[in-house]
Structure 1
Amino acid sequence: MRLAIATLLVLFLFSCEKKTEIEINSVEITPVFIDSLSIRAIQPLDENRVWFAADKGKVGLIDGDTPKLAIIKYGDSLLHFRSIAATKEAVFVLSISNPAVLYKIGFNGTEATNIEEVYNEKGEKVFYDSMKFWNENEGIAIGDPVEDCMSIIITRDGGNTWEKLPCDNLPKVERGEAAFAASNSNIAIFGDNAWVATGGRKSRVMHTGDKGKTWEVFDTPIVQGKAMTGIYSIDFRDEQHGIIFGGNWENKSFNEGNKAITKNGGKTWKLIANGKEPGYRSSVKYIPGTEGQGIVAIGSPGISFSGDGGKNWKLLSKEGFFAIEFVNDSLAFASGNNRISKLIFRK
């Protein structure tokens, strides 16, 4: 009798752990903004409003059918922005290369109120990739190595001032290790944690559990060894479960060693759908509210979806984008060459 009860208990626990597969059969793609820009950084506010930062110095808020645009000049130069982040009272945009300039744009809920330069870094090797905020006061931006560590700047006062962390406090990079400014998504934030994905000749995941005070670094099985190989995007749905995605930008159909998941906070990673589609993707996101079962990976080759946590994938569209950000479980914004589109995912 005891054996029967124990067996039933095991079966019950197993059935509780089994998650329902998410079903999505199509995606409806509606352009909401068209311009001759490369748009790799977007930040949705709700179903109708999305901030963006692009090349040619252009930053804007798409408010329904109304684009509210600004062109930011640094001297006589038009900066190239690939990082964006937002708090309740401001939006932050960061340019990629020398000089890297970070601007705070005041926002009253409907309109930009002022633009202020809050960080500036000059140097031949300076190149910033992405930016995120933990909360209203604390944020982080990631750049390629200038010395023997990744460039990391942090704010603790709502973005008014930023400080660069010394290499003595960070893991050392290996030769040829850097990051990709492909989609503003090589940082993932959850709670006090941040995970940073690197790529190139070495592709690893850096982790801090205390908002940037201390760091550790973990190896990954993602393809690496060349300048354009490695992790392009990372996302976490809680403190333990995350996904990395990338591949070889120079061989986008290559689908071995380009996607992996972790169940222990990034310490170890296991390849998923190895040798199966999709190949290279530049941005990956868990679909909100699906307990990690629903995942969308997006890139120039198209939009791919998994409803079973990454084991199996299907191509929803061959329309290419750089970045994706979800608003809810069925709506997202995506950006790419010359456009921002609204994506509606349907069963």
Structure 2
Amino acid sequence: MRGLGKTRRKVRVGLWAAAFGAVALAAALPAQAAPGAAGGPGEARGPAQEHQGSAHGHHGAHWALKKTGTDARFRGLAAVGRSTAWVAGTKGTVLRTADGGANWRDVSPPGASNVEFRDIEAYDAHRAVALSIGEGEASRIYRTADGGKTWTESFRNADPKAFYDCMTFFDRRHGLAMSDPVDGKYRILSTVDGGRSWKVLPNKGMPAAQEGEASFAASGQCLVSSGPRDVWLATGGAAHARVLHSADRGLTWSAAEAPVPAGDPARGVFALAFRERGHAGRAVEGLAVGGDYRPDQASPDAAALSRDGGRTWTTAAHPPPAYRSGVVWLPGTRATALAVGPTGTDVTTDGGRSWRTVDTGSYDTVDCAGPGGRGCWAAGEKGRVARLETDGTR
């Protein structure tokens, strides 16, 4: 989105235990002061908060910061597992760890220092696809198959009216990327060969965009998929925030209003998370978070949930206290998810109906791989990357 750019409370937390399913943990994690004046996504902020979670003898689950050696802002994050993760961000920076964050290798694509990476998707420690954002040729897609030793630029946007925000993959071959509306409709880019080549899909099945509608390249989660064919797109900036759904890999779409703050270019749904529950005919559960990214504006009702694959949405009864830019279901849990933003991390253990703040460190995006939160990572400003850990684990 082109226009993209304090809470102080004490929190008694035993709910981090839910992040590890059957592992019973009880922790008292005191909140710290949120970072100073915060701008919109892509803008500079105050000094990064160095909350380590496990400091001062605290016990339980916590974010443990990992030194990355850079001040890049990471809005692109791909969790492969507990040991392996990729991050992508400002100044064309891409880093990869294969040892749980103890060491990070700079695998930035050569000649890309002038681009802004906002999304990265990775299959393993070797194969990854990264998306840079911006008007015209600033929107590009890069692909590596050797852990970032070499990269191929597989797409460069030639349409000055297009601005790509996010991408998602259904499997190792099939994926989509999306642009803000061009000529009144969202534009969808498709790959069937793991990101080696891309083509623009026809827009006949895409509903018309609202006036001023666009998406937020804030966390790589404005376009998400679940299963082999279903994909969802989050919108904002218009009179109503919406979630668009396709069940045929982006050929046809339906739209549903989401009850989160809207009616301003700074407001809308910033991130989505979906997952399947049950067997054939199963429910597809969805979470939406967002709000108003401006730090001087309140974000009431900044989270919503769906139990029917995004056809209808309900406002969270107890939403996060402020704008949130990233959200993820914890694999292997029944109803637990995490949401992150500049002023903190929130956890839900009831499928998104109620959220509780468990950390006040600044993060822009969150991703999990592996059961029970064992491979959960978060990333954000000033080179901040953290892994979810319990005392005694490394």
TM more than 0.5: yes
2:79 aligned to which of 24, 39, 44:
44
TM-score, normalising length: structure 1: 0.86
Give the 3 Å change call, closer, same or farther, for CA 345–174 of structure 1 in structure 2.
farther
Out of 140, 157, 161, the position equivalent to 1:101 is 140
Q: Is the 8 A contact 1:73 1:79 kept in 2?
A: no
Q: 1:153 aligned to 2:195? A: no
Q: CA deviation at 1:132?
A: 1.1
Which of 242, 257, 260 matches 1:204?
A: 242
Match of 2:54 in 1: none
Alpha-carbon offset, residue 256 of structure 1: 2.5
Q: What is the identity, as a one-letter code, of the residue corresponding to 2:323?
A: Y
Which ranges of 4 or more aligned residues in structure 1 deviate by more than 6 Å? none
Instruction: State the 1:323 CA deviation.
Output: 0.5
- What do residues 255-304 of structure 1 show as CA deviations (whole Å, max 9, x unaligned)? 42321111111111111125x5422110111111122x212111001011
1:84-123 counterparts in 2 under 5 A?
84-87=120-123, 90-97=127-134, 98-99=136-137, 100-107=139-146, 111-123=147-159
List alignment gaps of at least 5 residues for structure 2: 1-21, 28-59, 277-282
Amino acid at match of 1:227: P
Aligned pairs for 1:287-326 within 5 A: 287-291=330-334, 293-326=335-368
Summarize the alignment of residues 157-168 of structure 1 with structure 2, pairs less than 5 Å apart.
157-168=193-204
Structure 2 distance, partners of 1:54, 1:80, is: 6
Match among 167, 177, 192 for residue 141 of structure 1: 177
Partners in 2 of 1:73 and 1:152 — Cα distance? 27
Q: CA deviation at 1:316?
A: 0.8
- Superposition RMSD in Å: 2.3
- Aligned equivalents of 1:330, 1:246: Cα separation in 2: 22
Higher strand share: 1
Given that 2:206 and 2:251 are in contact with CA atoms closer than 8 Å, whether structure 1 keeps it comes out as no
**Counterpart amino acid of residue 286 in structure 1:** W
Q: Percent identity?
A: 28
Assess if the C-alpha contact under 8 Å between 2:107 and 2:149 holds in 1: no
Q: 2:90 aligns with which of 52, 55, 58?
A: 55
Kept in 2, the 8 Å contact 1:196–1:206? The answer is yes
**For residues 177 and 345 of structure 1, what CA distance do their matches in structure 2 show?**
41
Q: Which residue matches 1:16?
A: none
Contact 1:93 1:104 in 2 (8 A): yes
In the other structure, the counterpart of 2:13 is none
- How many Å separate the matches in 2 of 1:24 and 1:37? 34
